[in-house]
Amino acid sequence: MGKLEGKTALVTGASRGIGRATAQRLAEEGALVAVHYASNDEAAAETVALIEKDGGRAFAVRAELGVPGDVHELFLGLEQGLRERTGTTTLDIVVNNAAAQTAAGLAPEDVTPEDFDRLMAVNAKAPFFIVQRASSQLADNGRIINISSGVTRVANPEQLAYSMSKGAIEQLSLHMARHLAPRGITVNSVAPGITDNGSPVFDVPEIVEAMSQLSAFKQVAKAQDVANVVAFLATEDARWITGAFIDASGGTLLG
Ligand code: NDP
């Protein structure tokens, strides 16, 4: 029997990359997973199909984050999907994974107010209101896992605005960990380093080789490497970890 049998989970941004691998991993442990995504219906359907092929249970929920009404739309789809399959809207696990990125090589001088607002809206504001909305329907001993990034621990001017948005999600973990502890709910941040999310850049050997040098293991991570860490935090085994920053960067932050 899987470690998450009978649990329900929401994974935002689960149509591809780390989110997809996380959805698959949680489903493998027995959770019913809501596969959230922004616009790529086909990719989300593929995540659901991959989970079902392995005997798991999942359904897709579409909602663009970072726009007015985003969290409300997400929860309408989520609650409907849960109610149809379980008869309730109880949620056990929330993984805030979806995020907006910036173009590589964007100097601080070139960040526009629109870029900044978008990063904050998708990466910080949406997770905050997802957690706020979810907390009333989260079961006791539930789990919230916020995906941050190793860039909050190393100076990288080209990622300044993105890093600020990830710093915000770490604060969400810290403060909500204390707030929700009386109910046994844990809240943690997981910080990946460079992780193959299936985007075309990971097909270019020279670029992969250069990126690999950043990790102590001289590899880029597979999405499953991060998903395994998230899945552990979702289990009962991790009940004594809360408010933590979990470095899942393959030693990138060792310097
Ligand atoms: P991907 O870019 O591969 O996937 C992003 C996912 O988020 C997709 O499911 C996408 O949906 C969804 N998404 C993007 N924008 C929005 C939005 N505005 N509203 C709703 N959904 C949205 O992500 P990764 O797997 O690379 O990254 C996952 C997490 O890990 C992110 O939080 C990222 O910041 C973090 N991270 C990733 C690293 C890496 O090297 N990959 C390194 C450090 C941190 P759709 O398919 O519909 O567009």
pLDDT tens per residue, the chain (255 residues)?
Answer: 899 999 999 999 999 999 999 999 999 999 999 999 999 999 999 999 999 999 999 999 999 999 999 999 999 999 999 999 999 999 999 999 999 998 878 999 999 999 999 999 999 999 999 999 999 999 999 999 999 999 999 999 999 999 999 999 999 999 999 999 999 999 999 999 999 999 999 999 999 999 999 999 999 999 999 999 999 999 999 999 999 999 999 999 998
pLDDT at 47 (0 to 100): 98
Q: How many angstroms separate the CA atoms of 219 and 230, rounded?
A: 20
Rg of the Cα trace of the chain?
Answer: 17
pLDDT at 169 (0 to 100): 98
Q: Which of 36, 96, 197 to mutate to test the pocket of ligand 1 (most atoms within 8 A of CB)?
A: 197
Q: Which of 12, 16, 40, 118 to mutate to test the pocket of ligand 1 (most atoms within 8 A of CB)?
A: 16
Tokens of 224: 């499953």
| 162 among known catalytic residues | yes
Q: Which residues line ligand 1 at a C-beta cut-off of 6 Å?
A: 13-19, 37-40, 43, 64-66, 97-100, 122, 147, 149, 192, 194-195, 197
Span from the CA of 180 to the centroid of ligand 1 (angstroms): 26
ipTM over 0.90: yes
Out of 14, 100, 162, 163, the active site residue is 162
CA-151 nearest atom, ligand 1: 43
In one letter, which amino acid is 205?
P
Domains delineated in the chain: 8-249 (3.40.50.720)
Phi, psi torsion values for 190, nearest 5 degrees? -115, 125
pLDDT at 255 (0 to 100): 84
Q: How many angstroms separate the CA atoms of 253 and 169, rounded?
A: 19
pLDDT at 141 (0 to 100): 98
pLDDT at 235 (0 to 100): 98
